[in-house]
A = this chain, B = another copy of it.
Amino acid sequence: MELLRAGLEDPRAWKQAVDAVSSFLPEGVFYFTEEGARLSAIDPSQVVLVDFFAPKNVFTEYETADASIRVPLDLGEYTKILSRASTDDRLLMVLEDVNLFVALERSDGSLRREFYIPLMDVPDRGADISPTGGTVTVRLLARIFKDALKDAVLFSSAAVLVARGDVFMVEAKGQGGTARTVARRGENVSIEGGPEAVSMYSLPFLQNIVRPADPDSFVELSFGSDTPLKVSYAVGGVNLTFYLAHMIL
């Protein structure tokens, strides 16, 4: 009996978004509801909360046998399968009793690749999303933020984000030197709220969080002074939101 049937004509966005999530979560539970597919969980180190949401309209086929279908998966194995999808493959997922069936099909029907992965015994981790207390919201080109993080990582494993007036800065200090990116409000950077926000975050986590973002797309950062950071962006039609704990300045 089919509990779920979900298809995507172009699996690229789904694949990239799942890949982003799997870099934090070894396993996870997707819930397929009338709104779409959601996965929310805290990473094992309790530093980042991941929220993945693919609205129903992203799918070209979408049927659920119940109001909410639970699909607990080994995200490592699932990602490996998705990594095998070509751009001209149609992706179909069907939930049967104890397996998720995944098919990759060429548009001309000549070739069909089938995968079965067993459902896992994954406990639901409470992942209630609470407001971050962010006082400033910075929206900027992903390329600029990614470059700033690469600069910062030269000298430290932590970066201080600063929003002040017309300026958003990423700073890192270490024994070898100091790196600071100064981005001014303009075409590629908008800053709202204020007057000031200053918080420190782990650089490896920040880099993993923004890795799948298209460099030419925008990412949104919300934070205050000594508060967690909320990062949101879309990959294709899939919305990714991350809440990252701050470090003590």
Q: Interface of A with B (CB < 8 Å)?
A: 74, 77, 80-81, 84, 109-118, 144, 147-148, 150-151, 154, 176-184, 186-189
Looking across the interface, which residue of chain B has its beta carbon closest to that of A111? B183
The answer to whether A114 and B179 have CB atoms under 8 Å apart is yes
Q: Describe A's contact surface by its main secondary structure.
A: strand
- Knowing A110-B183, A110-B187, A154-B84, the reply to whether A77 touches B115 (Cβ < 8 A) is no
Residue numbers in B under 8 Å from A110 (CB-CB): 183-184, 186-189
Looking across the interface, which residue of chain B has its beta carbon closest to that of A188? B110
Residue numbers in B under 8 Å from A116 (CB-CB): 177-178
Across the interface, A77 reaches (CB within 8 A) one of B118, B151, B176, B186, namely: B176
The answer to whether B74 and A111 have CB atoms under 8 Å apart is no
Residue numbers in B under 8 Å from A81 (CB-CB): 154, 177, 179
Residue numbers in B under 8 Å from A109 (CB-CB): 184
